[in-house]
Amino acid sequence: MESIQTAAMQSKKQIFSDTREQAVPCDMMLPEYYPEIEKVLSCSVQFSEESVTLHGDKIGVNANACFTLVYLSSEGRPYSFVANEKYTRLIPCCETAAGDVCLVRQSLSQLDCRATAPRKAEARAVAAVRADVWRREETCVVAGAADPRLELLPGETELFRRSGFYAGTFVLRRSVKLPDACENTTAIVRADARMRVDEAVVIRGKVMLRGSCAVTVTSAGAEGRITAGAEFRQPFSETLDVFGAEEGDQCYYSVGVEEVRADLKSAAAGSDSPEVQITVSCVLITGRQTRQTYLRDAYAPGFSPETAAADLRVGAAVKQTAFSFPFEARAECFDENARQVADAWLTDLRLTETPGESAVTLNGSATVNALLTGGETLSLISRSVAFSFAREQTAGDTDFVFSAFASALSASFDGNGSLLFSGEISVNGFETTYLNARMLTALSLPEDQTAAEEERVVVYYAGAGERLWDIAKAEGGTVRQIKEFNGLQTDETEHAAPLVFSAR
């Protein structure tokens, strides 16, 4: 058929999602120059992916687990020791193809640590490895057809034409100068970081991220003195290769901190400034808003055209979103000697969505941690807590990609032997709204078929609110004829009445 207009419609569908557990054991042997272990104060682990590959029906994940042991020596002084353990995980999945995108996220499911000798500690972590695979498809749909015999029912909508997609990590390395008060530092008790993106632009097929990273370091001195929550803001600029990104595209992102490492041994000689390595997890999409015309249906009176249609879920709009909500939790403290909270922080933060009719509930879980002092003692408490937050539901079919972190967290004794934690959970990400539409993918008429059937007069008793399109298609007429013969101005009947028109 001549003069058929077509357009390419892009859609994305998730073809695989699964979570597998991976045990990661680690034997930590302290060098001779480290003091012996008297008491394990805390142990933490951070997971990072070094590479993710798709091999047919398997996902290969090469990852690293960074264990940080904080302990007290026989003299009551805190020290920290860092050990890395590499591991590989193969995840069975569906058959994949070139161009499929895989995103792997890891979270801590379980962690045990104990000292087995004066210079040896054993740790065993269990990582929950989640893998998601998406496939981007392009379907050619009919956007118009110049043939006077055809009756067309077109649709038109704003669509987001995605050009590029990136899901992965990048690493920032910064040397952080500790305050003068942190003399004779012997251990980094913890290091944390929060990301803020101020600008994301597409330049020559790459995405340039500019922003700042707030690094928080809590250190311990040789006499057990704790310097808590020293914060340093570091600017960063990172360029990421986003396949398919085009000049002028808008960029939407979700950026979160996946791992923070602080190592005193990597500082310059004679300096107490640690080198902080930050692994940042990032999801980026690029594209632009366009207005797309497509055909929902088409027919020709008396010809019975051959048509093919597809139900497509296409992106209609994307918007950047960021919000915060208050966080409060209570944890019992069993250390009778504890008198003061030296530091408080949140780990293992997880958020999941539960959609509702008018709101989305974010259900969360986390571990609250507090470093306590009392006299010459030093102790750490860690408790698992759960919380939830309801946010207004975006109308329509939407996906929400986000990262979350805790900010301004503090803890204090409530007078009843418990600790009260309070702060904020900040969320950043983007929402994609989808349109579900039935679109024609092919349209053809038999070339040799003619209007052999004689015209006939149809009297149709229409009800109020009936569409002329449906009447014409069912009886073999045209919308134009029905409107002209019956003096109608709209495409629907206003009230019940007989309609007279010719048909084949």
pLDDT digits (tens, 9 = 90+) for 443-498: 876 665 444 456 778 888 888 889 888 888 888 888 888 888 888 888 899 888 88
Q: What is the pLDDT of residue 451?
A: 46
- Name the token pair of 262: 């602080």
Give dist(CA 101, CA 332) in Å, integer: 44
Give dist(CA 138, CA 10) in Å, integer: 4
Q: What is the mean pLDDT of residues 46-62?
A: 88
Strand partners, 391: 360
Q: What is the pLDDT of residue 344?
A: 87
Domains and CATH numbers, the chain: 4-296+314-437 (no CATH), 454-504 (3.10.350)
Give dist(CA 61, CA 490) in Å, integer: 60
The residue behind tokens 């500082």 is 267
Share of the chain above pLDDT 90, in %: 20
Residue 250 pLDDT more than 90? yes
CB 252 within 8 A of CB 430: yes
More confident residue, 377 or 480: 480
CB 62 within 8 A of CB 86: yes
pLDDT tens figures, 144-201: 877 777 888 888 888 888 888 888 788 888 777 766 656 667 777 788 888 899 999 9
Nearest by Cα to 460 from 434, 497, 432: 497
C-alpha angle 434/440/441, rounded to 5°?
100
Nearest by Cα to 153 from 381, 463, 421, 469: 469
The residue behind tokens 């993918």 is 441
- Alpha-carbon torsion (377, 382, 388, 394), positive or negative: positive
Q: What is the pLDDT of residue 395?
A: 63
More confident residue, 29 or 397: 29
Question: What residues have CB less than 8 Å from 106, skipping those under 6 apart?
Answer: 47, 48, 49, 63, 127, 128, 129, 130
- Name the token pair of 255: 């950026």
Q: What is the pLDDT of residue 219?
A: 79
The DSSP 8-state label assigned to residue 473 in this structure reads H
Give dist(CA 443, CA 152) in Å, integer: 11
Question: Beta strand 340-355 with 359-374: parallel, antiparallel or unpaired?
Answer: antiparallel
How many angstroms separate the first and last alpha carbons of the chain?
Answer: 22
Residue 316 vs residues 66, 128, 139: alpha-carbon distances, Å: 41, 33, 16
For residue 278, how many C-alpha atoms fall within 13 Å in the half-sphere facing its CB?
28
Residue 224 pLDDT more than 70? no
Residue 382 vs residues 156, 294, 385: alpha-carbon distances, Å: 55, 57, 10
| Count of residues in the chain | 504
Q: What is the pLDDT of residue 254?
A: 93
pTM of the predicted model, to two decimals?
0.73
Q: What is the pLDDT of residue 25?
A: 95
User: Taking phi first (over 0 means left), then psi (-120 to 50 degrees means alpha), and beta for anything else, what does residue 186 get?
Assistant: alpha
- Name the token pair of 311: 């139900």
pLDDT tens figures, 1-32: 457 888 887 777 789 999 999 999 999 999 98
